[in-house]
Amino acid sequence: MKRTVCLLLSVLMLMGMTSFAQAEDPVTYTTLYSSEVTTLNYLVTSTTSEFAIAANVIDTLVEYDQYGRMHPSLAESWESSEDGLTWTFHLRDDAVWVDGNGEYYADVTANDFVAAAKYILDAQNASSTANLLYDTCGIAGAKAYYMGTTTPEEGEEPAPKMDWDTVGVKAVDEHTIQYTLEQPLPYFLSMLTYVNFMPVNEQFLTEKGDQFGLATGNDTLLYCGAYYISEFKPQETRVLTKNEKNWDAANVHIDQIIDKYNKEASTVSPELFLRGEVDSASLSAELIADWLSDPEKAAMIHPSRLTSYYSYFYTFNFDPQFDAAYEPDNWRIAVNNENFRQSIVSAFNRVKAKTLIDAENPENLLYNTITPPAFVDYNGTDYINMGDLAAITAKSVDTFDKEAALAYKEAAMPELTAAGASFPVKVLLLYNPTSSDNNSAEEAQIVEQQLEDVLGTDYIDVVIEAGPSTSYLSARRTGMYGMMNCNWGPDYADPLTYTEPFAVDNNYCYVDKATDTEMISEYYALVDAAKSITDDLEARYLAFAKAEAYLIDHACVIPFGYGSGGYTASLLDPFSSPIAPYGLTTERYKGQYKLDTYMDTDAYYDALDAYEEARNAAE
């Protein structure tokens, strides 16, 4: 008996030791990626794949939790002046910078935020987020300072150079950073999780010079976030390792994020997931249907949780810069004819195209606006149900209308002929060959078939082309397309953020280059009017709704809804992810847990119920 008890105790001790050892084993999360980043310099980029890295290695003044609640991060507390113009942030004293080996480099100080703003507002650094500081955010003196750093066009007088002291970004002391605005902004705090409010160590920045943030290795950056880049080998692998010196390391539950390069990632990841070699996989709707019919595979996937506020939309390029073979001059005439654009919009069967993501309920992934549902509201009324957008939202998401499409075609053809266009009009439809969802090429084929079937090949000739595999976005940024599926994620909690892809000098659809000057003048006047309203939130939202509806009603854009849905294969706990409609929150691994086993559909909905109960209790 004594021996049995001793043996039982030994077994229990061994089990406890084994459990303890397992708990201490590093937790790794392995994924594949198919397109390499072009820079690690978070002070210049606005590209998702690039700032997704920054989101994990650089902390911001505030952050959001899994319930969407704002919390202190690098700033322990803050306050604003009575007039709403001056915001003062008090930094924690235990935040530090580390190098690519995780070793201490320096403390994080208020000057790090000054150095970052000064770098971004130097036009010679070509930051794509500078306008967010001097225009969207309206930092006092920022626009004049920025203009003073620009290179004038030939024959133009240079703008006067301004001293930095004229800019409303100041280090009051080592742990106090202050921002002064030109006018009150109701959404200012929501902007603080985006890249343009990230800090940078000035000494390191100066030492590196033009080598700062190069995508060549892990030694071109310093890190103050939940992770640091411990390994960066372009087109091979990149590893994010938990930063043990981070002030909140206790809330980082995955020790390493291992991203392996494979140009065929979307194709090979499902098989590697089944073999346990990666922890997430891209699944096409066809593959999902196959997996759901197999009980063993069905147990490995669960419904996708729609936490992203990335809005997808098809755009028409008003400033074609593609090869002569695709007849850019002819396209320019066609795209500037509203009846032509309306014919495309009406002939586009959005529901059919969305079946590639969710064959069962594609309508759930569609909405009729550029701004997604539940982004912002006024006294409980969703922005997309306000003003001129309300009627657009109320329409069926099945917007396909063959009769209307043919009527628009009939109206467009004589107008285009009179303008000098020839038929069929070549429509250069570009798609992303490295898209992680594995559906882009097939989606393009569906769009080509349905548009040509409805409108006829006497009218249009949809030409499908794969964008560059190494830098797909460069094609959009240089106008090398006629029609294209684009997306935009919000940077802050205001409808203004969804006007940015269509702003003057934008590189999405170049709507400012449209020849219908009356149309574009009216649109930009509506946006400017909305921006000028800063003391009445309802009036501001109604004004932005009018501008957005104008763009949609004039067929300058085709809203396409959510970019994901259906089912997912991933070992990440979907309910531990931090969420917020804006900034970089949803790109972060901090706070997330890796599941010990696969989550199936039943487990997903059980977890969803528990999550909703916990969220309601937390409010």
pLDDT per position as a tens digit, 511-526 = 999 999 999 999 999 9
Q: What is the pLDDT of residue 47?
A: 87
Least confident of 67-71, 182-186, 317-321, 473-477: 473-477
Give Rg (Cα) of the chain. Answer: 26
How many percent of the chain have pLDDT more than 70?
Answer: 95
Q: Mean pLDDT in the chain?
A: 91
Q: What is the pLDDT of residue 436?
A: 56
Q: What is the pLDDT of residue 610?
A: 95
Region 314-324: what's the mean pLDDT?
Answer: 95
Q: Which fold has domain 237-306+567-618?
A: D-Maltodextrin-Binding Protein; domain 2 (3.40.190)
**Cβ atoms 370, 547 nearer than 8 A:** no
CATH 3.40.50.720 is right for the domain spanning 38-226 = no
Selection from 257, 253, 357, 276 nearest residue 312 by Cα? 357
Q: What is the pLDDT of residue 439?
A: 79
Q: Which fold has domain 311-561?
A: Dipeptide-binding Protein; domain 3 (3.10.105)
> What's the token pair of residue 266?
């979307």
Q: What is the pLDDT of residue 234?
A: 95
List the domain boundaries for the chain: 38-226, 237-306+567-618, 311-561
**Cβ neighbours of 449 (radius 10 Å):** 13
pLDDT per position as a tens digit, 217-237 = 999 999 999 999 999 999 999
Q: What is the pLDDT of residue 619?
A: 67
Q: What is the pLDDT of residue 154?
A: 87
> What's the token pair of residue 454?
């409805």
The residues pairing with 173 across neighbouring beta strands, listed in sequence order, are 176
Q: With 70 as the cut, is the pLDDT of residue 509 above it?
A: yes
pLDDT per position as a tens digit, 191-207 = 999 999 999 999 999 99
For the chain, give me the number of helices (H) and strands (E)?
19, 22
Separation CA 417–CA 162 (nearest Å): 53
Separation CA 169–CA 152 (nearest Å): 25
Region 424-428: what's the mean pLDDT?
Answer: 98
- Residue 207 exposed, middle or buried by CB count within 10 Å (0-12, 13-18, 19+): exposed
Selection from 113, 69, 106, 70 nearest residue 91 by Cα? 113
Q: With 80 as the cut, is the pLDDT of residue 240 above it?
A: yes
Q: Return the C-alpha torsion angle 253, 259, 264, 268, nearest 10.
A: -40
Region 549-571: what's the mean pLDDT?
Answer: 92
Separation CA 231–CA 508 (nearest Å): 33
Selection from 212, 201, 249, 205 nearest residue 227 by Cα? 249
Q: What is the pLDDT of residue 13?
A: 32
Q: What is the pLDDT of residue 18?
A: 32
Q: How confident is the model at residue 597 (pLDDT cuts 50, 70, 90)?
A: very high
Q: How confident is the model at residue 22 (pLDDT cuts 50, 70, 90)?
A: very low
Question: From start to end of 311-424, where are the E strands?
Answer: 311-316, 377-378, 381-382
Q: With 50 as the cut, is the pLDDT of residue 1 above it?
A: no
Separation CA 377–CA 541 (nearest Å): 9
- pTM for this entry: 0.76
pLDDT per position as a tens digit, 104-126 = 999 999 999 999 999 999 999 99
- The residues, ordered by sequence, that sit 6+ positions from 573 with a Cβ below 8 Å of its Cβ are 592, 593, 594, 595, 599, 607
pLDDT per position as a tens digit, 79-96 = 999 999 999 999 999 999
Q: What is the pLDDT of residue 437?
A: 53
